């Protein structure tokens, strides 16, 4: 443990101060009228402040221990302090003389409170912000002031002590940060519930021993004589109790959260696996394993239709006899002859298709995932089976379909790579990247009654990793993301393809923008090389409430047109690109902003290829000012988002003479039906989980 030279002196100063105060207390005792008590009370107050600052500093410079180890330290320190205090006993309220055992017990209590406070600080500071650090520092100031107020001869009215207690208590409330609870598994939560309950029992027993103590600075029967102890002990007790309640109330949804984490991990694993230079058969095998595991299917098989072998089939918990029976009964060839409109085929009850279910053949529902490449040639078909009807909920189907889409992109990438090996390296890189980027961009946008969306995407000679996507979460909410991977070439395009599935999964979860950026940054840190980062804008529209909440991660600012005032402006925002900081400190650089929406307002989202478009005659950039001017003019002139987009693109092509030196992506979103009357409809029909 290494701390600064100044702070390393705090502990010996605290020990010496307490020793002086204890010696004076043994010599003088506590006088009936309190005269002269400051001689021993002042050194002890200094000791409490030094121990508080020392342990707080140690917590700040030490690595955060494992959370199970942290709660075990709390329990052990509390048990040791309680047992020693119980063994020596505490002097009564009217005691005036003490022995050395009493004073050691008091010293252990002072150390225990300071140490417990430092351990809880490490929990409070998980995903900390600048505001939480400031609040903690203010709280420590009040605690230190409370230690000085414990000197009874200070000529201050009781009102001042009461005000200090009240102010310190008010500052305590915002420090009740429990973000670490969400990261625990259900087993860990049960362990923490038992541990915190045990700690509260020990803490309560210890405080009860000191309640009517003859030491004013450890007694809790008169809070105004022990301001320091009440503030520290009160915070430790309150935080532990609130944590216990949070753990208990989060138990019912723990399994759901763990399933979501497992799905996200699967996305990350499959994205990373698909980005490796593996064969197509290995991609299909990996996809089959992931789909079977995460769908919790009872049986399954993978049919590799593109294989040169006549029958290349892999079975999971399915005999060849039962496979032949299902193949003879079900029209599988007709169902998978061409790509399904939704990408999958779902048979909710196989009995309707003639399958007789029994104990030997417990097959009641089937999900079919045909895999076609870009040339519409079938590569494989995955068949997943469950033993009960309607076995695959819509969320699980969408997850499996997302896996399939990831595999399709990976297979197409590898096919493109194999076909371009004969070409020059530069031409090969351009072809692969262009293809991957085309696959990234959505061919159509979800239909909405509240907005129009028009898009434009143009690859350049030196391709990059531009990307945008939209997800209609429900009838009233729309999530939009637009980003750009650092660098150029096929590697940048591949990296954005790698992140597409992860972004889609997070968008479906309807996360608040700041949480989306934090979780996306964690995924980028695991999936991309350290020299890569992604600039990103994430927008969450709530048409019912007429609000836009967005976070900007180092990407180009959003251009906004206010129809009522007929003026356009940039929504700047603050934020850092994904992957630049790859630890919890990234949360300090994420901010979400909310903007009011109105009918006929227009938003313009774009990548840097637009504003950095160059004029051939003098090399001047297209620039933000010209974009703003052209955008405002188009919004005043045209009613449709498509026409506004066309006006911007036409002006850009005129400016650059049709030459693009960087990828250019553009989204124009026009709001068409924002009314306050939707709010009541939403409040009566929307799930509470989505509201909060």
pLDDT (tens digit per residue) in 558-609: 999 999 999 999 998 888 999 889 888 898 889 999 999 999 999 999 999 8
| Mean pLDDT, rounded, of the chain | 80
Residue 688 has a pLDDT of 39
Reported confidence tier of residue 406, pLDDT bands at 50, 70, 90? confident
Reported confidence tier of residue 136, pLDDT bands at 50, 70, 90? confident
Strand partners, 605: 667
- Non-local (6+) Cβ contacts of 380 within 8 A are 284, 302, 303, 304, 305, 306, 370, 371
Give the sign of the dihedral formed by CA 470, CA 641, CA 437, CA 463. Answer: negative
Residue 35 has a pLDDT of 43
The model's pLDDT over 647-682, given as tens digits with 9 standing for 90+, comes to 999 999 999 888 877 788 899 999 998 865 455 555
Per-residue tokens: 205 = 């027993």
State the CB neighbour count (10 A cutoff) for residue 53: 20
Question: Does pLDDT of 195 surpass 60?
Answer: yes
Residue 197 has phi, psi (to 5 degrees) of -60, -40
Distance CA 229, CA 48 (A): 10
Would you say 293 and 329 are in contact if contact means Cβ atoms under 8 Å apart?
Answer: no
Distance CA 76, CA 81 (A): 9
Question: Does pLDDT of 307 surpass 60?
Answer: no
Reported confidence tier of residue 103, pLDDT bands at 50, 70, 90? confident
Residue 357 has a pLDDT of 77
The model's pLDDT over 595-604, given as tens digits with 9 standing for 90+, comes to 999 999 999 9
Q: Is 283 helix (H, G, I), strand (E, B) or coil?
A: helix
Reported confidence tier of residue 383, pLDDT bands at 50, 70, 90? very high
Q: Distance of alpha carbon 121 from its chain centroid, rounded?
A: 21
pLDDT (mean) for 358-374: 85
Q: Is 308 exposed, middle or buried (0-12, 13-18, 19+ CB in 10 A)?
A: exposed
DSSP code at position 9? T
% of the chain exceeding 70 in pLDDT: 79
Highest average pLDDT, of 342-346, 414-418, 667-671, comes from 667-671
pLDDT (mean) for 624-641: 95
Structural element, H or E, at residue 537: strand 534-542
Reported confidence tier of residue 34, pLDDT bands at 50, 70, 90? very low
Question: Does pLDDT of 479 surpass 70?
Answer: yes
Residue 403 has a pLDDT of 81
Which of the pair, 108 or 311, is modelled with greater confidence? 108
Residue 94 has a pLDDT of 43
Per-residue tokens: 576 = 């850092």
Q: Please provide the DSSP assignment of 447-461 as one string.
A: --SSEEEEEEEE--S
Distance CA 605, CA 480 (A): 10
Reported confidence tier of residue 440, pLDDT bands at 50, 70, 90? low
Question: Does pLDDT of 490 surpass 80?
Answer: no
Q: Is 394 helix (H, G, I), strand (E, B) or coil?
A: helix
Runs of H (alpha helix) within 150-253: 158-172, 186-209, 227-250
pTM of the model: 0.46
Q: Distance of alpha carbon 60 from its chain centroid, rounded?
A: 23
Residue 65 has a pLDDT of 61
Per-residue tokens: 351 = 């009995």
Residue 341 has a pLDDT of 86
pLDDT (mean) for 380-390: 90
Would you say 404 and 344 are in contact if contact means Cβ atoms under 8 Å apart?
Answer: yes
Virtual torsion, Cα 505, 506, 509, 510, nearest 10 deg: -140
First vs last C-alpha separation in the chain: 42
Would you say 10 and 54 are in contact if contact means Cβ atoms under 8 Å apart?
Answer: yes
Per-residue tokens: 82 = 């309680």
Half-sphere exposure at residue 40, Cβ-oriented, CA atoms within 13 angstroms: 20
Residue 424 has a pLDDT of 61
Reported confidence tier of residue 686, pLDDT bands at 50, 70, 90? very low
Distances (CA, A) of 287 to 83, 378, 410: 58, 15, 11
The model's pLDDT over 56-83, given as tens digits with 9 standing for 90+, comes to 888 776 666 677 788 888 889 889 988 8
Distance CA 500, CA 498 (A): 6
Which of the pair, 220 or 247, is modelled with greater confidence? 247
Q: Is 149 helix (H, G, I), strand (E, B) or coil?
A: helix
pLDDT (mean) for 331-337: 87
Distance CA 330, CA 90 (A): 82
Mean pLDDT check: name the lowest of 27-31, 104-108, 373-377: 27-31
Distance CA 685, CA 681 (A): 6
Distance CA 466, CA 482 (A): 8
Residue 594 has a pLDDT of 94
State the CB neighbour count (10 A cutoff) for residue 46: 19
Per-residue tokens: 319 = 């005999």
Question: Does pLDDT of 428 surpass 60?
Answer: yes
Of 164, 161, 68, 81, the closest CA to residue 115 belongs to 81
Give per-residue burial for 589-614: e unless 16+ CB within 10 Å, then b: bbebbebebeeebbbbbbbbbbbebb
Per-residue tokens: 290 = 């992931």
Distances (CA, A) of 48 to 44, 134, 357: 6, 21, 74
Of 298, 104, 108, 75, the closest CA to residue 191 belongs to 75
């Amino acid at each position: 443990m290494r701390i600064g030279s100044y702070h390393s002196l705090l502990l010996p100063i605290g020990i010496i101060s307490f020793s002086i105060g204890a010696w004076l207390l043994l010599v003088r005792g506590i006088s009936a009228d309190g005269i002269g008590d400051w001689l021993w009370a002042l050194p002890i107050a200094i000791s409490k402040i030094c121990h508080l600052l020392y342990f707080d500093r140690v917590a700040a410079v030490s690595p955060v221990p494992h959370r199970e180890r942290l709660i075990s330290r709390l329990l052990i320190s509390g048990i040791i302090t309680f047992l020693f205090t119980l063994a020596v006993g505490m002097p009564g309220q009217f005691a005036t003389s003490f022995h050395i055992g009493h004073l050691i017990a008091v010293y252990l209590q002072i150390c225990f409170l300071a140490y417990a406070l430092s351990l809880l600080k490490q929990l409070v500071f998980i995903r900390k912000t600048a505001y939480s650090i400031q609040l903690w520092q203010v709280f420590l100031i009040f605690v230190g002031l409370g230690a000085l107020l414990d000197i009874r001869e200070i000529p201050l009215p009781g009102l001042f002590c009461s005000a200090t207690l009240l102010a310190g208590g008010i500052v305590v409330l915002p420090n009740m940060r429990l973000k670490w609870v969400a990261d625990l598994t259900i087993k860990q939560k049960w362990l923490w519930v038992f541990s915190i309950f045990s700690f509260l029992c020990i803490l309560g027993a210890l405080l009860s021993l000191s309640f009517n103590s003859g030491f004013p600075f450890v007694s809790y029967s008169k809070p105004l004589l022990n301001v320091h102890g009440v503030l520290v002990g009160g915070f430790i007790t309150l935080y532990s109790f609130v944590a216990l309640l949070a753990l208990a109330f989060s138990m019912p949804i723990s399994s759901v959260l763990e399933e979501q984490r497992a799905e996200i991990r699967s996305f990350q694993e499959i994205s990373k696996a698909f980005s490796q230079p593996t064969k197509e058969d290995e991609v299909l095998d990996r996809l089959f394993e992931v789909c079977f595991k995460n769908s919790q299917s009872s049986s399954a098989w993978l049919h590799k239709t593109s294989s040169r072998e006549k029958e290349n089939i892999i079975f999971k918990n399915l005999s060849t006899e039962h496979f032949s029976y299902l193949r003879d009964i079900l029209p599988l060839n007709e169902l998978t002859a061409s790509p399904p409109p939704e990408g999958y085929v779902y048979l909710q009850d196989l009995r309707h298709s003639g399958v007789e279910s029994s104990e030997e053949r417990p097959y009641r529902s089937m999900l079919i995932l045909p895999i076609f490449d870009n040339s519409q040639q079938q590569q494989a078909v995955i068949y997943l089976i469950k033993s009960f009807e309607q076995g695959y909920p819509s969320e699980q189907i969408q997850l499996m379909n997302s896996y399939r889409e990831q595999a399709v992109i990976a297979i197409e990438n590898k096919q493109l790579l194999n076909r371009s090996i004969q070409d020059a390296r530069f031409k090969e890189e351009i072809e692969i990247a262009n293809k991957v980027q085309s696959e990234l961009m959505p061919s159509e946008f979800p239909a909405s009654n509240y907005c129009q969306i028009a898009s434009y995407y143009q690859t350049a000679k030196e391709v990059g990793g531009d990307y945008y996507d939209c997800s209609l979460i429900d009838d009233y909410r729309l999530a939009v993301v637009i980003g750009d991977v650092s660098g150029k070439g096929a590697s940048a395009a591949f990296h954005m393809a790698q992140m597409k599935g992860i972004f889609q999964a997070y968008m479906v979860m309807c996360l608040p923008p700041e949480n989306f950026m934090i979780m996306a940054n964690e995924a980028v840190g695991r999936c991309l090389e350290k020299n890569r980062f992604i600039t990103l804008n994430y927008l969450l529209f709530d048409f019912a409430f007429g609000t836009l909440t967005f976070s900007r991660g180092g990407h180009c600012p959003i251009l906004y047109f206010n129809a009522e005032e007929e003026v356009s402006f940039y929504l700047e925002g603050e934020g850092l690109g994904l992957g630049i900081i790859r630890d919890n400190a990234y949360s300090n650089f994420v901010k979400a902003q909310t903007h009011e929406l109105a009918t006929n307002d227009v938003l313009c989202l774009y990548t840097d290829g637009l504003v950095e478009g160059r004029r051939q005659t003098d090399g001047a950039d297209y620039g933000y000012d010209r974009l703003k001017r052209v955008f405002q003019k188009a919004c005043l002139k045209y009613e449709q988002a498509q026409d506004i987009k066309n006006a911007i693109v036409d002006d850009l092509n005129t400016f650059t003479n049709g030459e693009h030196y960087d990828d250019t992506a553009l989204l124009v979103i026009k709001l068409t039906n924002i009314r306050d009357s939707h709010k009541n409809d939403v409040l009566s029909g929307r799930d509470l989980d989505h509201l909060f």
